[in-house]
A and B are shown apart, each in its own frame.
Chain A
Amino acid sequence: AQRVTQPEKLLSVFKGAPVELKCNYSYSGSPELFWYVQYSRQRLQLLLRHISRESIKGFTADLNKGETSFHLKKPFAQEEDSAMYYCALRSGSSNTGKLIFGQGTTLQVKP
């Protein structure tokens, strides 16, 4: 079965500390993975996708097919990074298709 697991409901760090939000997936095909972010009072928005291999707002994520993981990392957390983060897996072979979301992790960056 296709599934995305984010094991931490809440991750609390101090400003300047490294951050790693964990995401594991189960999928039998070739996965396409995303991270979405929801800041307070804002709509859910795309943060990054694995195939573009870009760094957005200092965040990076590497797809590890051996460990079936797509952890989101940032070397130095900022207070404005506080938000809800969702990992998502696109199922199907087309360039569009339904996303399966994890349960979400709330990142709290303390001053």
Chain B
Amino acid sequence: DAGVTQSPTHLIKTRGQQVTLRCSPKSGHDTVSWYQQALGQGPQFIFQYYEEEERQRGNFPDRFSGHQFPNYSSELNVNALLLGDSALYLCASSQREGPDTQYFGPGTRLTVL
């Protein structure tokens, strides 16, 4: 049973560029949430996708957008990158109609220069 996977592992971008991160949920899970974890801090909720729609959003600007595909995988897009966007981006999957336990992927380390 595959757990949550994310790609790429690491990414280096420059200010103003755009980036796309990918997440495949745990088998049997249909809900994907994205979190940003700055160094030395707890994860911060970005948004959540279920049935290919954004269901909830945290306090992040519109530069952060996402998508969920019919196979439940998801993408996180960040436009006009800022230095402050450097962080570990985590996705977590869960089952909508079931326990709300969230399982995290290994994350994508984004560095903005």
Tell me, yes or no, whether A binds B: no
